[in-house]
Amino acid sequence: MRLYNPYDVSRSLDLELLVDISSTYTWIKRGRLEGLDIKPMTRWRFRTIEGRDIERGIGEVVMECLGERTTTIIVFAEDEDAEVLGIYSLEGLRLEVDPVTRRLRKVEALLAL
């Protein structure tokens, strides 16, 4: 997977992320995003699995995987947060998890609903 600064695509980063279909958004460590000169646009509140409320910065990146590219929302993860690929980004990239191989694959067709 590759992340790009949406305002300067010459700034990019290759990384591997764990897919978490229970996570709405993609979480990337703040330091990695700052290294691409990506800054938070706002802050959102999240509820953790333990029931705690936390606030994190929110930004946008261009994400590329398996030949698909899209702009997506990302959460600025802190040191204690995991880096994960969330469902919002997966759907934007038109990717899904193959239940047999447990790998990402391109969606054959989107629902027209």
Residues 85-96: what's their mean pLDDT?
Answer: 96
Look over the chain and give the mean of its residue pLDDT values, rounded to a whole number: 95
Where do the structural domains in the chain lie, given as residue ranges?
Answer: 2-102
Could you tell me how far CA 46 lies from the centroid of its own chain? 15
3 state SS of 88:
helix
Q: State the pTM of this model.
A: 0.92
Residues 27-43: what's their mean pLDDT?
Answer: 98
| 62's tokens | 């261009």
Of 10, 6, 68, the closest CA to residue 39 belongs to 6
pLDDT band at 25 (very low <50, low <70, confident <90, very high): very high
Query: Which pLDDT does position 51 carry in this prediction?
Result: 92
Residue 111 has pLDDT above 90, yes or no: no
Query: Which pLDDT does position 108 carry in this prediction?
Result: 87
Percent of the chain with pLDDT over 90: 88
CB-based contact 57:28 (threshold 8 Å): no
Query: Which pLDDT does position 20 carry in this prediction?
Result: 92
Using the Cα atoms of residue 7, residue 104, residue 58 and residue 56 in order, give the sign of their dihedral. negative
pLDDT band at 109 (very low <50, low <70, confident <90, very high): confident
Q: Which CATH class is domain 2-102?
A: mainly beta
